[in-house]
Amino acid sequence: MGCGLSTLRRPRRFMRSKTRYRVRWRFQRPQPGGEAVKIGVTQIILSDLSLDDTLELCQVADYEVIELVFGEGRDPDVAMSDDEIRGVRDRCERAGIEIGSSIGWYAERGCFIHPDRAERDQGMKCLVRSIEIANTLGVDAVLLHPGQLTAEATYREAWDWMVGGMKEVAPFAEEKGVTVGIENVWNKFILSPREAGEIVDEVGSERIGIYLDTANMMFYGYPEHWIRGLGKKIARVHFKDFVRKDRAFVPLMDGDTDWATVVSDLRKVGYDGPVIHEVGGDRELQIEMAARMRKIVSL
């Protein structure tokens, strides 16, 4: 997730399918040099689709994993009861789609690095709800967008607020068995793998890690450096691509990413979770992204 969403260009809206999802048996695809890597898509870029239509798309495109976004007025909704959340889990299971991670967002998402304590408290409210939802789903990772850094705060202050917030929530995350993945986003904060690793180390909890976006640092850095520098601190991975000279996010394999090295380095550091793409676009593009992801993970 970067610049608030995953692409600088406004994606075309989906044509909603009337086809209901169906049960499909799935088999792992062994990849050269390691175990099969599961590919998936995030609901961040599928907000026009209902959950049923999202699951149907996953089946057609052969995505194995979905990242669920629970939001106000979304499908699924952040205000769902535990029984309703378990119903969402059951719908995914019946469709044969694994829930790789989840997000819980209120309309006001707050900000962990904002000078206003009320903003930081709202960020914590969203994160706690994310962890509660993940625990009910039986999912062990959530995505966290830290919020935007502003000129009103010093970098040191923002750092301390971020570390303090993570230390505060860590015992709850540990109790629930859910890892918080802090995503590297376009927010003028956590600009290097060294900084990302130091934040995780300062918090000192195995349930606080990094949700690595492979393109959000490409204007000023390299995903390979982040993978090698963070290693086991990587909780989950978003696949995106970027063209540096155009300063633009593009479909996977259309940008400057050295995918062979990215995949090789993920294997070397022992990352064994799913890879979930965040490329906005219409139904046809989402099907194409699944095909390209299969090529990427087989490199």
Banded model confidence at residue 3, pLDDT cuts 50, 70, 90: very low
Residue 199 has pLDDT above 80, yes or no: yes
pLDDT band at residue 36 under the 50/70/90 scheme = confident
Q: Is the pLDDT of residue 178 over 50?
A: yes
Domains of the chain with bracketed CATH: 39-297 (3.20.20.150)
pLDDT digit string, tens, across residues 103-119: 999 999 999 999 999 99
Read off the pLDDT of residues 243-275 as tens digits, 9 standing for 90 and up. Answer: 999 999 999 999 999 999 999 999 999 999 999
Question: Quick one: three-class SS letters along the chain?
Answer: CECCECCCCCCCCCCCCCCCCCCCCCCCCCECCECCCCEEEEHHHCCCCCHHHHHHHHHHHCCCEEEEEEECCCCCECCCCHHHHHHHHHHHHHHCCEEEEEEEECCCCCCCCCCCHHHHHHHHHHHHHHHHHHHHHCCCEEEECCCCCCCCCCHHHHHHHHHHHHHHHHHHHHHHCCEEEEECCCCCCCCCHHHHHHHHHHHCCCCEEEEEECCCCCCCCCHHHHHHHHHHHEEEEEECEEECCCCEEECCCCCCCCHHHHHHHHHHCCCCCCEEECCCCCHHHHHHHHHHHHHHHCC
Q: According to the model, what pLDDT value does residue 13 have?
A: 39
Higher pLDDT, 34 or 248: 248
Give mean pLDDT, residues 192-213. 99
> What's the mean per-residue pLDDT of the chain?
92
